[in-house]
Structure 1
Amino acid sequence: MSSEHKKKILLCGDVEGKFNALFKRINSVIRKSGQFDMLICVGNFFGINNKEFDDYRLGNKKIPLPTYILGPNKAEHLDMYPEEDEELCTNLFYLGKRGMFTGSTGLRIAYVSGISCSASKESHNYDGTDISELFDLCVRGNPAFRGVDILLTSQWPTRMATESGKVMPNFASNLPNWLIMKLKPRYVVSGLEGKYYERPPMRIPTLGDHDSTVEIATRFIGLGRVDNSDGEKWLYALNLTPLDKMKLSELIQKTTDETPCPFNFDDLQNEIFKIKKSSTTQQYFYDTTPIEEPKSKRQKREKVVFDQEKCWFCLASPSVEKHLIVTVGDHCYMALAKGGLVEEHFLVCPIQHYQNRVNQPEPVTLEMEQFKKALVKFYERDSKVPIFFERNYKTSHMQLQVIPIPKKAQRELKEIFMEEAEANGFSLSEVESYDRLEDVLPPKTPYFVVELPSGSVLYTTIKGNFPINFGRDVLCTGPILDLPDRVEWKECCLSKEEETALVERIRTDFEPFDFTI
């Protein structure tokens, strides 16, 4: 990842009116390490005595970088804050009660101010409604929401300490925990406890079809009070690339010190919102068996429950073989096909779980087209052209198969596919130039579709049995690739070491054509 996207951030614990000590230290850090993009303060920014603030408010002293603070945690501090988020003095900004901050850094920073409460909410409190509205604000207008870079809460989330007796927080709440599971922040930063504590990263699970986030490792940092006498660390530096500027393969990369998520989403839903069971913890996919008209006494077919944990193609799933991944875009990724027909046999798949191209959102389809155009140029270097085909039958995750053939082998290609289809008991139709694939394929109907180098698109809807390896079978025939011994993918598998070496070579070869870099 290019260093131009990295942002230098300073995080600070409770200031409690010690403004001179804070900015003296900040100036010292800047002299040694260069300028930072921003300073973020959690916990109590104001204290019992705030006389030092007058010099900054009046312009007699300057704050050396843009500084952002959360709202009050005590009723007696309310008078120090404006009604809405605004600049308190030059370079000092009040973020507000809750919201999402991006600014010029590109970082996505969610925040909630104050102390949680369940009744008699005052101006320095927040409750379940506030965190629900904050989540809605973060995802609104962003169907491909991945998560946030930082979640700021002055109050610690519960169950953060992994060592018994290490830290016993006085102000912990389970409301931030719900936000952690929904927003998947890379960092959670809190204050108020006067203790420094950095938790080993935890992997937050995805919550179903409506959760577009990925399982990003979340790190918790609790910071001490400014200039404390106990030696508790109160200033923390981050060099962070914004989430939206990172490849998904980087975001989901495992770390050696990961720990399990210490809380359960259904329990949090029940505890906070009194919802007994989450409706988002399961994923479903369409049953691809042809639909029959229900008879009067026939029971309605139940939906098939899809287990994302076992999906080979969901990029956030532990089952996916990540060493096969060549490159990752915003919505799709390209991987080496396991047991490929040829060395440069690829799969282009959506990152999130969509059964087929008819059901996937337009941004996914558009990026898939970008991959296809890049692959056309990639194969051109060896005087080859790609065949693209998809089988929406006995599959649960959309896979676009991409297989190159020599240019000279495309002669009579359409006729070969049609003849092979007739030999297998079905026919292929050609999509007319004025039609879209979505216009001829109903969303719940099983189908096979192949795109030829000539631009012709052939398809069939599937009724009854269908030859699983049809696309591969046709390409193996003598007139095209003449590889009759490579029809079955299981017999073509390489060792993991061979696959890894091949992917490394392909990444290098594909780099000039890779639009995701």
Structure 2
Amino acid sequence: MAPRILLCGDVLGRLNQLFKRVSSVNKSAGPFDALLCVGQFFPDSPDLMEDFMAYIEGGSSIPLPTYFIGDYGVAAPKILLAASKDSANRGFMMEGLKVCENLYWLKGSGKFTLNGLSVAYLSGRKSSNVQQFGTYSQDDVDALRAIAEEPGIVDLFLTNEWPSGVTNRAAASDIPAGLSDSIGSDPTISELVEEIKPRYHIVGTKGIYYVREPYSNVDAVHVTRFIGLACVGNKDKQKFIHAISPTPASTMSSTELAMKTTTTTLSPYTSVGNKTSPKDTTKRSSDGISDSQYWRYDDVSQKRLKHGAGDGDKLCFKFVSSGSCPRGEKCNFRHDIDAREHGMRGVCFDFLNKGKCERGPDCNFKHSLQDEGDMHPSTRPGSRSIRSSRSQECWFCLSSPNVESHLIISIGENYYLALAKGPLVEDHVLIIPVEHMPSTPSMSSESEVELFRFQNSLKRYYKDQEKEVIFFEWLSVRGTHANLQAIPIQSSKAVMVEKAFNLAAQKLGFEFVAKKFDSISDGRKFLKEQIDGKSSLFYAEIPGGTILLHHVEEKERFSAQFGREVLAGLLNMADNADWRTRKYSKDEEMKLVEDFKSQFQEYDPNC
């Protein structure tokens, strides 16, 4: 039976009014499994504090499990700080910190499973002021972008503020009067929604009830439904409670997921060359599942690639971005090798397809076909994942403005060594390809020699400190920039590593393939053979020469931070499982890097 969920807009501390309504709905149409609240949860004036605190202190009861992300308002810092310090809330708890019985604070950002549903969230609002509660950080955004790379479909995505542009391509008659995109809207939310592709996106803060027509997602068969909710007790009597009963995507077939309504529109967050009326949009999207995924193929300008064809001949976005297309010869769009090569160098798809880009200077891709084949990969403007959002810069490309070069320890020809951001332990490092590659096993055989040197050097370095090292890597089919993580542990705990990984796998319902190899090179040959481009992989190289490997199925729930979480548990450092809790200032990071460099210098293969 599908879970039954209640959704609520800004509570504003009016818990008496909220839970009276929830109890009534639960009695007449329930029972419901949980209540999810978006927008400001805490009071906006001290007048409501007495009634509010009655629930926090246990004098009044909360009728069903309630989760909130609007961690701002009167007394929010005091109450939430106390919850953070509660011993019951220690450790890695994406499923919420318990504030009181049946009330949970979804802190920062994350993803958890609620009655079978995959729920992602971004707590707080966007702000230039850094404060502990009430605003989200860049780390919270980056964590959600990492979650977007994980396999499986997110059922519900909770944010406080609205995504900019959500009414684009929507039926004008359905848009509430007075709705403004300039107030209470956040372009960062739009970018995240475009990457995460949730089945439902629920928001608050504007005090307006608005349910948009479902819209198609690029590179996904399912649609997204947007729900904006009004405030509890609003004077206009707009709807602030909404009930849904979605079947978890993890239990649905591809056919069920691909079902669309006759009112399905194209995505409101992506730019196209020609303006399309709502009527035309509806017709186009209802023609078929496959066509709705290829919204980018608008009329083609004659100012194209020199090898391009005439008007109406359109490029296949799937082929240009990934090098393959599941529709093969049945695809209605052109599989152009030249366009694929330009795309790999970071040329804008709209520029390739139409000869121009509507985004202009706001586009992060190149608007030139200039050949850069002789440039070193680290200096190419396009050394980043084509599948990433256009506004998302790769964290690991040396040419990226977002690369934190002060974390770099040693640079070779094909790989470089860097301190991990938010390290689990202070000498937790990453081996990263210089070129933007999806995995280290997909690198050339020639470059493997340099990787072996880095791995052997780290093994010797840690061994002289009476430590063993575990290497692990998450290979996502979405093609993020590869990074091989290296985490040292005390030699006395090395014998427990395989058991720890196996126990964690058992809890998630899978078993590792375990193979022992006499040398690193033999193990790497085995890993190369496992890459099929169809499924994501996780592997760990553990002390003794054993490789633990798991092929991650498309709908399988598997955290990209799995390796770190396992080792955090083994080292009794559950609080450090989330890298965002291990924040250091830039000066502190630079000192950690310098300390590591000075000790590692005699082992460094590049010295």
TM-score normalised over the length of structure 1:
0.48
Q: TM-score, normalised by structure 2?
A: 0.41
